[in-house]
């Protein structure tokens, strides 16, 4: 099993265990060019780990100004880093994209607009990439309706285990498939009758982009946007994401280690709520995703 990040830091620096863990949580360690705050994450031997002992402490979740891709009076689009919650998971948690973006907008928007951001969709904590918040109640209503009507363009890049072929995946997703995990009706155990009323129809279009060593770089286009939809659909098709830790109970092939699930929201398109103008944004994957892509792209050793 690969060592934890804290173990790698301790080996590199000679620090105590507590100091090694602190170096991680203080933002002084990068893995393949991306800060990793989790000292318990497993690090593959091919990863490039850099420890900057004297670097300034960085608060986890803080966003650089360039994370704001676009804003106007109605909306703000951000490139969310992996490891940051979209919105609070419990009352009082302000280490979220929504909270940090609101703080940034106080500085960036000279018009002084300071309303609470409206949530119209979310990205998982470990998913990087583009997401939009509404800045007014009317914009939130318009965007929420567009999401319900599947009028929002959402394109993800992912690295999935195995040889992935083009497919249209449709299923009825359940909060509990029968073993405590989200999943598709009839996938984990034989279906008895039609899907229950709380099942959500879910459609993902998957297209291979590049064959890699033991994996495939794929493009996923969402028709619907259910929680964990891409992760579940790919896992149930026999191709869990590289770095997936939840939807792997039924996967029996060797797993490729990664610090997080390799999923990135690459393209986002929608109609501006007030002007009717089509807005389309693209964001390249972050360094950890690119690093995994390059490692799996390299030819295997002789």
263-271/215-222 β-pairing:
unpaired
Q: Which of 124, 126, 172, 288 is catalytic?
A: 124
Cα-Cα-Cα-Cα torsion 230, 246, 250, 172, nearest 10 degrees, comes to -40
- Asked about 109 being catalytic, the answer comes back as no
Q: What tokens does 58 get? A: 């960085």
Identify whether the C-beta of residue 214 lies closer than 8 Å to the C-beta of residue 254. Answer: yes
Distance CA 57, CA 22 (A): 10
Q: What is the largest CA-CA distance in the chain?
A: 62
* Helix residue spans in 136-276 (DSSP H): 137-148, 229-236
Handedness of CA 53, 59, 65, 66 (dihedral sign): positive
Identify whether the C-beta of residue 2 lies closer than 8 Å to the C-beta of residue 44. Answer: yes
Which residues are identified as catalytic?
Answer: 124
């Amino acid at each position: 099993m690969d060592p934890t990040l804290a173990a790698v830091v301790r080996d590199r620096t000679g620090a105590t265990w507590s100091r090694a863990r602190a170096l991680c949580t203080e933002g002084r360690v990068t893995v393949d060019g991306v800060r990793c705050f989790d000292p318990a994450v497993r690090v593959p031997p091919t990863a490039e780990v850099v420890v900057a002992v004297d670097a300034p402490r960085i608060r986890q979740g803080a966003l650089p100004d360039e994370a704001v891709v676009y804003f106007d009076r109605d909306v703000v689009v951000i490139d969310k880093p992996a490891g940051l919650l979209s919105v609070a998971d419990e009352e009082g948690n302000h280490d979220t994209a929504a909270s940090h973006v609101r703080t940034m907008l106080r500085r960036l928007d000279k018009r002084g607009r300071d309303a609470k951001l409206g949530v119209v969709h979310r990205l998982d904590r470990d998913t990087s990439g583009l997401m939009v918040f509404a800045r007014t109640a009317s914009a939130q209503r318009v965007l929420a309706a567009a999401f319900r009507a599947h009028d929002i363009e959402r394109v993800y890049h992912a690295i999935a285990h195995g040889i992935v072929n083009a497919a249209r995946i449709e299923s009825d997703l359940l909060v509990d498939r029968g073993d405590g995990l989200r999943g598709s009706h009839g996938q984990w155990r034989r279906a008895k009758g039609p899907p229950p009323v709380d099942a959500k129809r879910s459609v993902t279009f998957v297209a291979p982009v590049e064959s890699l060593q033991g994996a495939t770089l794929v493009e996923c286009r969402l028709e619907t946007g259910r929680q964990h939809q891409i992760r579940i659909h790919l896992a149930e098709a026999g191709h869990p994401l590289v770095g997936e830790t939840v939807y792997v109970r039924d996967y029996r092939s060797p797993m490729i280690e990664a610090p997080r699930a390799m999923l990135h929201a690459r393209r986002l398109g929608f109609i501006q709520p007030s002007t009717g103008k089509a807005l389309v944004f693209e964001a390249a994957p972050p360094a950890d995703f690119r690093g995994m892509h390059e490692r799996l792209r390299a030819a295997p050793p002789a």
